[in-house]
Amino acid sequence: MFPLAYAPGVQTLNGLARDDFLYYGMLHQTVKGRNKIRRLRSGMIQLYYTHKGDHMSTSSSTRGPDPAAVLGSTQDQDGSRAPITIGETSMLVVALVRIFVGYLWFQQLFWKLPPTFGGLHTFVVREVGGAFIPGYGTLVQNVLLPNFGLLGAFTFAAEFLISISLMFGLFSRAGAILATIMALQLYVGLSNTEWYWTYGMLVLLAVVLLPLPTGRRLGIDQWLAPRLQVAVENHRTARWLSWFV
Partner 1 sequence: MNPAIQRGATSGILAGFLLGILFFVDYGPGNALLKPASWFGLAQVGGAKWIGFLLLIILGGLFGLLFGVLQRNRTVELGRSLLVGMAMGLAWWGFVALLIGSGISHVKLDLGNFLYSFIMLFLYGLLLGSLFFQRSSVHRG
By CB under 8 A, residue 87 contacts partner 1: no
Among 3, 114, 119, 149, binds partner 1 (CB under 8 A): 114
The torsion defined by the Cα of 15, 16, 18 and 24, in degrees rounded to 10, comes to 160
By CB under 8 A, residue 214 contacts partner 1: no
Three-state DSSP string of 3-19: CCCCCCCCCCCCCCCHH
Among 109, 128, 153, 184, binds partner 1 (CB under 8 A): 109
By CB under 8 A, residue 60 contacts partner 1: no
State the minimum distance, in angstroms, from the CB of residue 216 to partner 1: 10
Nearer to partner 1, 143 or 201 (CB): 201
Amino acid (one-letter) located at 205:
L
Query: SS3 of 84, please?
Result: coil
Among 21, 105, 168, 244, binds partner 1 (CB under 8 A): 168
State the minimum distance, in angstroms, from the CB of residue 164 to partner 1: 8
Q: 51 - beta bridge partners?
A: 56
Q: Which range of residues in 41-49, 59-67, 99-107, 202-210 is near partner 1 by CB under 8 A? A: 99-107
State the minimum distance, in angstroms, from the CB of residue 218 to partner 1: 5
Q: How far apart are CA 145 and CA 101, in angstroms?
A: 28
Among 22, 27, 210, 220, binds partner 1 (CB under 8 A): 220
Q: How far apart are CA 40 and CA 172, in angstroms?
A: 29
By CB under 8 A, residue 15 contacts partner 1: no
Q: How far apart are CA 129 and CA 131, in angstroms?
A: 6
Q: Total residues contacting partner 1 (rule CB under 8 A)?
A: 24
By CB under 8 A, residue 54 contacts partner 1: yes
Nearer to partner 1, 99 or 144 (CB): 99
By CB under 8 A, residue 218 contacts partner 1: yes
Q: 87 - beta bridge partners?
A: 55
What's the chain's length in residues?
Answer: 245
Q: Count H helices, E strands: the chain? A: 11, 2
Query: SS3 of 199, please?
Result: helix
By CB under 8 A, residue 167 contacts partner 1: yes
In order of 6, 12, 22, the CA distances from 26 in angstroms are 13, 18, 6
Site of interaction with partner 1 (CB under 8 A) = 53-54, 92, 96, 99-100, 103, 106-107, 109-110, 113-114, 163-164, 167-169, 217-220, 222-223
